[in-house]
Chain A
Amino acid sequence: DQQVKQNSPSLSVQEGRISILNCDYTNSMFDYFLWYKKYPAEGPTFLISISSIKDKNEDGRFTVFLNKSAKHLSLHIVPSQPGDSAVYFCAAPPGSGNTGKLIFGQGTTLQVKP
Chain B
Amino acid sequence: NAGVMQNPRHLVRRRGQEARLRCSPMKGHSHVYWYRQLPEEGLKFMVYLQKENIIDESGMPKERFSAEFPKEGPSILRIQQVVRGDSAAYFCASSRGQNDEQYFGPGTRLTVT
Contact = CB atoms under 8 A, between A and B. Distances in A.
Nearest to A106: B42
B69 interface: no
Interface string B1-45: 000100000000000000000000000000101010000111111
Given A99-B48, A100-B31, A104-B42, A45 B104 contact: yes
A43 B4 contact: yes
A96 interface: no
Contacts of B55: 99-100
Count class of interface residues, chain A: 20 to 34
A104 B106 contact: no
Interface string B41-78: 11111001000000110110000000000000000000
Contact of A102 (B4, B102, B105): B102
A25 B95 CA distance: 24
Which of B44, B45, B106 gathers most chain A CB within 10 Å? B45
Which of B35, B40, B42, B99 gathers most chain A CB within 10 Å? B42
Given A101-B59, A106-B41, A42 B99 contact: no
B95 to A, nearest CB: 7
Interface of A: 4, 6, 9, 36, 41-46, 89, 91, 93, 98-107
24 contacts: A4-B42, A9-B40, A42-B106, A42-B107, A43-B4, A43-B107, A44-B43, A44-B91, A44-B104, A93-B99, A99-B48, A99-B56, A100-B48, A100-B56, A100-B98, A100-B102, A101-B33, A101-B48, A101-B56, A102-B102, A104-B43, A104-B44, A106-B41, A107-B41
3 nearest CB pairs, A to B: A43-B104, A104-B42, A99-B56
